[in-house]
Amino acid sequence: MMVFRKLLSILRAQGGFTLIELLVGIAITGSISGVLVLGILQTDRTVSVNRNHLVSISRVHNTGFWIQTDAQMAQSVVVGDDESGLPLTLSWTEWDNTQHQIIYAIEGNSLVRTHTADGETTSTILVAQSVDTASDMTNCEFSNGMLMFKITATEGEGPRESSETRLFEVALRAN
């Protein structure tokens, strides 16, 4: 019986949190958690938008590299008949009479470069993906020895979408 009384007195003397203290603690924890979740979501969105932008930039820069390299070698340029000027055909003959032809064409939403030497295809590469194929967004023109190639690449969807447009102007080599 004595043990029971001691145990009962220990239980009565125990301190703890009041209901108000618990509610305040829960409110503070909820506020901190809410701010953390919003911060994580904003960081995720920012990282996604930046990644999409970098991918778009990379795609148009890769296109610029290939267009400039090939156009500087070209002795003749033939643009396509539609509004976009594609497919674009660049041709030249090397010192050993090897005839090269480069064709840039849109396939789906990709820009493809096909290289033939003496009539045989030597390589076909995917220059850029996610290309905006509208004729006002991706096109080429050739006049007065200058090739102007405009490309727009778009990556992502909705609020995370990012587009990049570049206009490359290349002077052909003198014959």
Range of the domain at 122: 39-171
Nearest in space to 113 (alpha carbons), one of 99, 98, 128, 124: 124
Count of structural domains, the chain? 1
User: Is residue 27 in some structural domain?
Assistant: no
User: Is residue 44 in some structural domain?
Assistant: yes
* pLDDT at position 159: 87
* pLDDT at position 175: 65
User: Is residue 142 in some structural domain?
Assistant: yes
Q: Taking the model in full, what pTM does it have?
A: 0.78
* pLDDT at position 27: 94
User: Is residue 18 in some structural domain?
Assistant: no
Residues whose CB falls within 8 Å of the CB of residue 146, separated by 6 or more in sequence, listed in order: 169, 170, 171, 172
User: Is residue 151 in some structural domain?
Assistant: yes
d(CA 14, CA 9): 9
Per-residue pLDDT of the chain (175 residues; tens, 9 = 90+): 676 677 666 666 566 778 888 899 999 999 999 999 999 999 999 999 999 999 999 999 999 999 999 999 999 999 999 899 999 999 999 999 999 999 999 999 999 999 999 999 999 999 999 999 999 999 999 999 899 999 999 998 888 899 999 999 999 877 6
* pLDDT at position 19: 84
